[in-house]
Structure 1
Amino acid sequence: MAVVMVSLVSALAGCSEKETVNGGTSSSQPTTQPTTSVTSSPSPVPTPAATSVPTTVPGTSQPSSPPVSTTNPQATASSQPTPAATPPSFSSAADAKKVIEARALEVMTALKERNITKLVSLVHPQKGVQFSPYSYIHTATDIQVQGSNLAALWASPSLTHWGTFDGSGDPIDLTMPNYWAKFVYNANFAAAPQISYNTMIGKGNMINNVFSVYPTSSYITVEYHFPGFGPQYQGMDWTSLRLVFEYTGSQWYVVAIVHDQHTM
């Protein structure tokens, strides 16, 4: 009996020591739940936003929704080359005059002064200039001279076939200076009493096809007109010179010099 009591006292003493070591309020039984420390585990890694990675539809390699394009449509449109601007139709005489009056005066001054060097700079750089002795323009046979050839033609003593005379049908075979005197500057057109823009003044028996060959949608025609010189002729001695201009690059150039007069 004494032995049993000693053992019981020893057991109780052991329990008191254990409570003292672990702290006065701790349970003497071992804790089955582990204590979690806030710093004992690494912080969770942030999950990327769902919109940054397209979701793949099972069974396909394509994303469930197409990625949003970041291209600016307006920026794409503005990167396209802008078409070159083209001049509008100048069928209105007032509009045509405003645009071409100064340029036409340059050409007329060169014709009056026979300044071939100046004329070369005013002639269409690709087409050259066409010379027609009468109002009906023969596009297949009328002489067309490149600007670079004008000086040589002017200096040449050889005859050039420019067409046929009205009435007789005889060939117009003349040097350029002689043709100039009869079918270009046969009157002082720089001082003509009547000037029109994309409008016909002189009218004879011959068909006038200038607006068919050079329509006002693309060309400007300036006419310098004398209604006549002697009262005894009752206006049958009228004469006109028409200058036809075309816009190319950034400037208007003369493409045709069309003479006109009373015809049989």
Structure 2
Amino acid sequence: MKKILLSIFVVSLVACKKESSKPADHKVDSTTQTTVQTSNPSQTIITREEIIKEANDEVLKTLKNKDYKRFAEFIHPEKGVRFSMYAFVDPKEDKQFSKTDFEKYQPTKTLFTWGSYDGSGDPYRATINDYLGKWVFSKDFTASQFSLDKFQGGGNSLNNLEKTYPKLNFTENYIKGTEKNGEMDWKTLRFVFEEFKGKYYLVGVINDQWTI
């Protein structure tokens, strides 16, 4: 009888060890390498594209609503965000803000030089609010065509996004040009995202359009 009880105890102990050694349920999307921890086997997998698309749409919403305090929450906590007037990104000349400086100057009337107009070469000076409202969100990009890590629009301006931000994800929000203007009046707004502590933050905001 003692041998039987001892055998039952050993079997139970081994079963418990095997059960406790099982990892938590998780799902991996092999395409995007995004892992989602879940205790529910039927939970929907969230892909990297969906996460970045959601961040992209939230940023567009803040710009449309002129909710720049909310916009600041998407600025990379350590690297800040760089604004480029055209497709060519110039790390030395383009205006860059840390999250702290953006929040400091956004409510003010302080003028900043954001770059130069293509063609005339005249400097473009504006407050943060005016730059975001009149240049960055010059059209309603919430109604644009979305793409991830893929260019839809392109003109005669050198596009060095991938060289400047290697291995980072970028989104493009493209508005097609009109037939009236030979589709030359297209515009696109690109966001460059970098992951930091499990969240995607903005490190680059780039406008692109046909230039002279």
TM score, norm. by length of structure 1: 0.60
C-alpha separation in 1, matches of 2:193 and 2:48: 11
Please tell me the residue identity of whatever aligns with 2:153.
G
Partners in 1 of 2:61 and 2:31 — Cα distance? 26
Q: Distance in 2 between matches of 1:155 and 1:139?
A: 25
CA distance in 1 between partners of 2:110 and 2:102 (Å) = 14
Distance in 2, matches of 1:162 and 1:249, equals 30
Shift >3 Å, 4+ stretches:
none
Query: Is the contact made by 1:222 and 1:244 (CA closer than 8 Å) also made in structure 2?
Result: yes
Aligned to 2:54: 102
Distance 2:68 2:180 in 1: 36
Aligned equivalents of 1:123 and 1:89: distance in 2?
Answer: 27
In structure 2, the residue matched to 1:200 is 151
1:225 aligns with 2:177: no
CA–CA separation in structure 2 for the residues paired with 1:96 and 1:140? 31
Partner of 1:126: 78
Shift of 1:102: 1.2
Alignment partner, residue 63 of structure 2: 111
Match of 1:256 among 200, 204, 211: 204
Q: CA deviation at 1:96?
A: 5.1
Deviation at 1:164, TM superposition (A): 0.6
CA deviation profile, 1:67-125 (whole Å, cap 9, x unmatched):
xxxxxxxxxxxxxxxxxxxxx996xxxx6523411121121111111212211221100
CA distance in 2, matches of 1:191, 1:255: 23
Name the CA shift for 1:143/1:135 in 2 (closer, same or farther; >3 Å).
same
The residue type equivalent to 2:135 in the other structure is F
2:109 to 143, 153, 157: 157
Take 2:149 and 2:165, find their aligned partners in 1: how far apart are those partners?
Answer: 10
Note the 1:46-125 alignment, pairs <5 A.
97-125=49-77
Deviation at 1:173, TM superposition (A): 1.1
Return the alpha-carbon distance in structure 2 between the equivalents of residues 243 and 210 of structure 1: 10
Q: Give the Cα separation in 1 of the matches to 2:72 and 2:192.
A: 15
Offset of residue 248 of structure 1: 1.3
Structure showing greater Rg: 1
Root-mean-square deviation (CA, aligned residues, Å) is 1.8
Q: Quick one: structure 1 residues 181 and 117, their matched pair in 2 at CA, closer, same or farther if it must change by over 3 Å?
A: closer
How far, CA to CA, are the matches of 2:81 and 2:108 in structure 1?
Answer: 18
In the alignment, structure 1 segments of 5+ residues that lack a partner are 1-87
Q: Distance in 2 between matches of 1:220 and 1:111?
A: 20
Find the counterpart in structure 2 of residue 191 from structure 1: 143
Aligned to 1:240: 188
8 A contact 1:116–1:150 mirrored in 2: no
Deviations 1:4-38 (A, max 9, x none): xxxxxxxxxxxxxxxxxxxxxxxxxxxxxxxxxxx
Picking from 155, 161, 174, the partner of 1:210 is: 161
* Cα pair 1:117 1:151 within 8 Å, conserved: yes
Q: Whole-Å Cα distance in 1 between the matches of residues 59 and 201 of structure 2? A: 9
The Cα shift of 1:157 comes to 1.6
Secondary structure of the corresponding residue to residue 155 of structure 1: coil
